[in-house]
Amino acid sequence: MQVVQWDKTTQKKISRLKEVEFDELLFKKVHKILQEVRTHGDAALRRFTKEFDRIDIPLKKLRVSEGEINKAYEKVEGYDFVPLIKEFQSNAKQFYEKDIKKSYSVKGCDGAKLSKCYSPLERVGIYVPGGQAPLISTVLMTALPAKIAGVKDLVLVTPPQRDTEDINPQILVVANLLGIKEIYRCGGAQAIAALAFGTRTIKKVDKIVGPGNSYVTEAKRQVYGYVDIDMVAGPSEICILADASADPNFVTCDLLAQTEHIGGSGFLVTNSKKLAEQIRKRVEPGYIIMVSSLEEGCEVVNEMAPEHLEIITKSPNIYLKKIKHAGTVFIGPYSPTVIGDYIAGPSHVLPTAGTARFFSPLSSSSFIKSFQVIHYTKDALNKGREFVKVLTDIEGLILHKISMEARFVDTKKK
């Protein structure tokens, strides 16, 4: 790892590393895919699946059947997913039920009543990336918060395996155990387009969640507004704030774990020269940022706004109080990032590339929307009458004023 002192030059360098550059060519390619699927629906979806995944899937096989799900159980006999699901579900439920917002009302003068009501989204699309390893944890971390929030319909899309044209049986089993009834064998930007705009086979969703490659990420960015999305996430990252008390083996392993993710990066922020020298020799990629004190280290962390932050110091809770920007914070030597990736309960779908300054982790509240209710009596309306008159006159919206005044016209005199 490269050792640097924290100063303005380093700050600019780290900021540039975390910036997401605009790729004009990628933008145009994805835009074309989205437009084709929006215009031609299933036909375009199948055409792009054949072009990118090299699989010609008949329309009737686009959706995974119950029979295929039943066969998937036979293929994963060596894995008992039920205890895993139950344990994670228990952890997630305990955590997320407190996150669900409750409707409320406030009373104003003369009988006016103002309310805010919360309700879950009806239909959510979950994208699970393809590849060699089945990302079961992605299914867990996206579906369970949505289910706890009360989402009625969960739709899962994932690229089929090129050799068998099937979806990984472990993903099918876990999805089925979580109650996901709609599963489609399609991936890439074309799958995002199908979820966002709908086709004859795949009904439009309200929100799309889940990680993916650059095409998927760009597609999510472009369909935002037609549907909601969780966030525009980049490569995984970890930052460790540590002092001389930190076990160098723990720090080494946690930094190296991120290199298993494509493009994953690691940062060590420390005031210990000894620890820095030990880690420098053991870990090649990433940066070690030297600070004069852990208080300054907290300032560095807040500037970086990392996806994962581990605090491995003598008194970690003291420094937790100084952290303002991070996706998830892991406290102490026995809270490695990996526990958050799999079983702790909170979702591992987190803001990256410094976006933790304004994005929050995926949670049950991510699947809940609100609407407002305004109930005025005639007396309450009359009290706000003069204010509305003044503002409608200033803005020149005469019909707005008439809409108000119509309630006070005495029609009986006519």
Q: Is 395 a catalytic residue?
A: no
Among the residues of 41-80, which ranges form H helices? 42-53, 66-75
Question: Which token pair is 284?
Answer: 């090649």
- CA gap 167, 171 in Å, rounded: 7
Choose the catalytic residue: 36, 218, 237, 307.
Answer: 307
130: CB partners within 8 A, 6+ apart? 53, 158, 159, 160, 161, 187
SS3 state of residue 363: coil
Secondary structure (DSSP) of 262-293: TT-EEEEEES-HHHHHHHHHH--SSEEEE-SS
Q: Which helix (H) or strand (E) holds 125?
A: strand 123-127
Strand partners, 374: 114
* 261 is a catalytic site residue: no
Measured in Å, how far apart are the chain's first and last C-alpha atoms?
Answer: 87
Cβ neighbours, 10 Å, residue 94: 11
User: Which member of 182, 218, 237, 308 is catalytic?
Assistant: 308
d(CA 113, CA 403): 20
Q: Which of the residues are catalytic?
A: 307-308
